[in-house]
Chain A
Amino acid sequence: MDINEIIKPENLVYQKSKVLTDTVMHYCPGCSHGVVHKLLAEVIEELDIQDKTIGISPVGCAVFAYKYLDIDWQQAAHGRAPALATATKRLYPDKYVFSYQGDGDLASIGTAEIIHACNRGENIVVIFINNAIYGMTGGQMAPTTLIDMKTSTTPYGRKAELNGYPLKITELVAQLEGTCYVTRQAVENPANVRKTKKAIRKAFENSAQKKGTSFVEIVSACNSNWKMPPVDANKWMEDNMFPFYPLGDIKDR
């Protein structure tokens, strides 16, 4: 039986979002990026804002995010996505503008840009992927790397006296007057995937209502650089990341 004979409207229970392109993703199997991309595409499609959405991709694994969602994209310099998003949103107040950033991009080199964009209350959406490691460059310590966690630049584990402490940037931006919605989610099981999608949708809705900056952290697994099989990586994330980076809304107004 041909596949097209099977896929009839009455048999169709699920299909890929039309906002997602057919380009094969470069992400490692087990990585959280692909799931988050899918959720973003679904939210953009459901809100019917594909023609009004401008994405800003970072430097890091998600640098190529522009290949996977069929919207207009700007590819920013390392850490600077919130500055690009600021100007884009101010020049086009009725468009939906989001930055998509990893932990090295947002919480290390781009700390000034994210703090000040959030503090100005730019009506943008920030998607923050926190996997506690630099993925694209091969597993170096990130600002969010946990104490004792091994990376290629902390081969004996992160030590506070040598490397400082993991940075809870999400709690930090929650304190700023300009943010309206700050939440921490994950996508390692179906229940959390659903919650994350709800959070992303809410963030985009906030943007339309010009309530301020919406900041969605997604605690993510990087099984390749954590050097674990995907299932073990998700388990490690639940056991080690969630206690330090607890899930849930931090601010919603």
Chain B
Amino acid sequence: MAEKLLKKGNEAIALAAIRYGADGYFGYPITPQSEVMETLMEEMPWETTGMVVLQAESETSSINMLYGGACCGKKVMTSSSSPGISLMCEGISYMAGAELPCLLVNVIRGGPGLGTIQPAQGDYFQAVKGGGHGDYKIIVLAPASVQEMYDFVGLGFELAFKYRIPTMILSDGAIGQMMEKVELRDPVRRLTDKEIAEKYGHWATVGKPATRKGNIISSLSLAASEMEAINLRLQEKYRTIEKNEIRCEKTMCDDAEYLLVAFGSSSRICEGTVEIAREKGIRLGLLRPITLFPYPTPVIQQMLPQLKGIMSVELNSGQMVEDVRLAVNGAVPVEFYGRMGGSIFSPEEVFKAFAEKFNL
């Protein structure tokens, strides 16, 4: 039987990294996610799997260590919280441009600026719309439990390598700090250098054998026509991802007349709101996007004929609601309820807002 432990979300990330065969973790301390690197240092995976764990001098440096490691075809990851992710955006843009796989974890805290160390979802735009410069997307996974923190490390690496794209686990201080039961999966072994050379040697910088020209990993292309061609190829890849990789969870949606849309910790709270509404005879459902890019636009669109109204519920000023409105395109009323700066709503509070907005 699989081992079950009581762990914090941040600790689950670290344990999963080792067990999903990560080759390297590079990070910098920041609350509320410091347990990720602390747990890794305690576990000393370099003694067991050979995984490299290194504390960098800054988030700028950690993301560029990821860039170097990803160039080598290795499974590399970092974790940080909002201000640290802002610093990493330069590197994320480079990695998107150079089409490199890596896993990023953002345990969001309230902002802007130094903000607060309390949980928030204010980095939705940064993660989903591209926080760095240029036209790019990254895959964004939103866990709602400690188990998903663990599982999405495996899923994140899988998607990152499948599409050669940076992939982010967009969590928050609540999921990072709360303790829940987590079931450990069977360990995946790290690839050997030889296996990496065979699998990724056609693009990765693993040392040039006599049989091929040197591999060059770069996001630079000075000629406009070449750069446009690269951009078109990237956009095509994003459309493929939108076609294949949408993930979401529906709760009480079959007969729903009204719909809450919420991700991560907000969705956990909204489960309570759905129960309150159902007790009162209101047919309310919950849609939880698991992938924020690609966004479950078609899922929302399929539900439109049965719906009288939608409310997006977020721990921010209303960011994801823009994607809901784009999906709905005016077909039904779309409302928003949110709190900011580390304040969290209760299920009752969300229900009250919902009932008021739809005159129920």
Contact = CB atoms under 8 A, between A and B. Distances in A.
A76 B64 contact: yes
A73 B216 CA distance: 5
Interface string B237-261: 0000000000000000000000000
A113 B24 CA distance: 18
Nearest to B74: A91
Interface stretch (B11-19, B204-212, B338-346, B352-360): B204-212
Interface in B48-93: 52, 54, 56-58, 60-62, 64-69, 71-72, 74, 76, 90-91
Contacts of A208: none
Interface string B93-132: 0100010000000000000000000000000000000000
B220 interface: yes
A69 B74 CA distance: 24
Given A83-B64, A91-B52, A92-B72, A77 B208 contact: no
Interface string A15-53: 000000000000000000000000000000000001111
Contacts of A51: 207-210
Nearest to B58: A112
B228 to A, nearest CB: 19
A71 B208 contact: yes
B61 A83 contact: yes
Interface residues of B, number: 41
Contacts of A56: 68
Contact of B207 (A57, A72, A90, A113): A72
B91 A80 contact: yes
Contacts of A76: 64, 67-68
Contacts of B69: 87-88, 91
B23 interface: yes
Contacts of B220: 63, 75
B90 A83 contact: no
B218 interface: yes
- Pick the most buried of A57, A87, A113: most chain B CB atoms within 10 A of its CB: A87
A77 B91 CA distance: 7
Contacts of A113: 57, 60-61, 64
- Pick the most buried of A50, A83, A86: most chain B CB atoms within 10 A of its CB: A83
A15 B112 CA distance: 60
A91 to B, nearest CB: 5
B190 to A, nearest CB: 11
A183 B74 CA distance: 33
- Pick the most buried of A63, A72, A91, A113: most chain B CB atoms within 10 A of its CB: A91
Interface residues of A, number: 34
Contacts of B74: 91
Interface string A206-217: 000000000000
Contact of B24 (A53, A66, A70, A90): A90
A179 to B, nearest CB: 16
A141 B27 CA distance: 33
A116 B67 contact: no
Nearest to A93: B52
B219 interface: yes
Contacts of A86: 54, 65, 68
Contacts of A92: 72, 193, 206-207
Interface of B: 23-24, 26, 52, 54, 56-58, 60-62, 64-69, 71-72, 74, 76, 90-91, 94, 98, 193, 204-210, 213-220
Interface of A: 50-54, 56-57, 63, 66-67, 69-77, 80, 83-88, 90-92, 95, 112-113, 115-116
28 contacts: A50-B208, A51-B209, A66-B214, A73-B216, A73-B218, A74-B67, A75-B98, A75-B217, A75-B219, A77-B67, A77-B94, A80-B61, A83-B56, A83-B62, A83-B67, A83-B68, A86-B68, A87-B54, A87-B76, A90-B24, A90-B52, A91-B24, A91-B69, A91-B72, A91-B76, A112-B58, A113-B64, A116-B56
